[in-house]
Amino acid sequence: MVFNTIPYYLFFLFPAAIAFRLASPNLRPWICSVFGCAFFVFFSSDRRGAFCLAIFIWEALFSRLYRKGSGLCWIGVLQSVVLLTIFKYRNFLTGLYFGPSDHNPWHWYGAFLPLGISFFTFEFIHYAVDRYLGRAEAGTPAEYMCFILFFPTMVAGPIKRYQDFLPKLRNPVLDSRTNWRLGCTRILSGLVKKFAIADLMTAFTDHLNRADIAVARRWVLPVWLLAYGVKIYFDFSGYSDIAIGSARLFGILVPENFNWPYFRTSIVTFWRCWHISLSAWLTDYVFIPLGGSRVSAGRVYLNLFVTMLVSGIWHGAGLNFLVWGGWHGALLVLHRMWTQWRGPARADRPFYRSALCCAGTFLWVNTGWAFFCMDLSTASVFFHRLFWGQT
């Protein structure tokens, strides 16, 4: 990940933040855009990064056509989905029909994934939809380019909203001493999470493969899975901390992304505190358009399930990610059924009940990580060994 490299800080973050502070307000969006373009090309896996940069340029130009109630906004949404499908899901989708790549005439052997495409696609879609609904102003081309190409959040989120980002870009908090102190502290905390905890857990999570699972003692398996749950939290929240701290150096506040999710007492509150910007995006642009909770109970359950399937496939192109999304969709549906039957949890319930709910939520969430970190055949071996002691 780019946040772990010296060039990120030496060539991009510190020079861009200093230039941003010294520049006039009219030049600040251009400074962020230029550094964002350079960042995208520099950290892309190969020279095709310059080609992929055309996606940003085209989207910025096309966004100038968006108007409230205009059908061009939906064309913008469609083209964003199509581009994401081509780059991220083409081989997965064609493989479902044709099978392995050797028998798949549509397999893209030179496939590559543009840097941060999952994150900036959601920001493309958000801007088009909110322009259609009249919830976001057009802004200038430079401001929109800065919104999309703001490199601290380009590859790991949090997922920004244009109407929230624009006022902060126009009126950044330029208290240098405070911002640099808070920003650097947040960056250091993220690096500690990454190097001192997440990378340490890698020694355990490397064993979540078919060969090691088949010969491991049964009691070791949940330990490995627990280690993965710890790793993914500290890894992802660490990157979010670095992104938030980096933005703070510009005097720009971006949304928080994690709020102690493993200490929540239900799957609903877990998702309100895990990858918060993604959960909010899925609620506003998938769950509510499907009807949200304003429809019949059966439709609400379906809406929850579909929303989490979208969350699953967004994370990766594989059936295991769909199953992981379906797992969480099923947990949300069961939680809603339970609360409708028993009523919402009481605020004054005994501590031991809250502790049990917290432990139960943690157990179900960590069980689901098996589908996230393994393909389905390996996950099947894992659960057979775990529950029946055989593969």
Confidence of residue 342 (pLDDT cuts 50, 70, 90): confident
Q: What is the pLDDT of residues 55-66, one digit of tens each?
A: 778 888 888 899
DSSP-assigned states of every residue in 79-114: HHHHHHIIIIIHHHHHHHHH-SGGG-TT--TT----
Q: Note the pLDDT of residue 19.
A: 94
Burial of 25-54, coded b for 16+ CB within 10 Å and e otherwise, reads eeebbbbbbbbbbbbbbebbeeeebeebbe
Tell me which residue of 257, 213, 253 sits closest to 389, measured CA to CA.
Answer: 213
Residue 49 pLDDT > 70: no
| Rounded CA separation 289/364 (Å) | 28
Residue the block writes with tokens 């109970």: 297
Look up residue 195 and give its DSSP letter.
Answer: I
Question: Where along the chain do its domains lie?
Answer: 2-172, 174-254, 259-391
Residue 184 vs residues 13, 21, 242: alpha-carbon distances, Å: 11, 16, 9
Environment class of 351 (CB within 10 Å of its CB; exposed 0-12, middle 13-18, buried 19+): exposed
Whether 64 and 141 have beta carbons less than 8 Å apart is answered as yes
pTM: 0.92
Q: Note the pLDDT of residue 216.
A: 84
Residue 172 pLDDT > 70: yes
H or E, element range at 20: helix 14-22
DSSP-assigned states of every residue in 117-183: HHHHHHHHHHHHHHHHHT-S----HHHHHHHHH-GGGTTT-PPP-HHHHHHHHHS----HHHHHHHH
Q: Note the pLDDT of residue 211.
A: 86
Reply yes or no: is the peptide bond before residue 158 cis, omega within 30 of 0.
yes
Residue 345 pLDDT > 70: no
Segment 25-38 shows an average pLDDT of 92
Q: Which long-range contacts (CB under 8 A, 24 or more apart) does 285-288 make?
A: 285/122, 285/125, 285/126, 285/129, 286/310
What's the CA dihedral at 272, 275, 281, 283 to 10 degrees?
-30
The three state secondary structure string of 307-357 is: HHHHHHHHHCCCHHHHHHHHHHHHHHHHHHHHHHHHCCCCCCCCHHHHHHH
Q: Tell me the catalytic residues.
A: 315
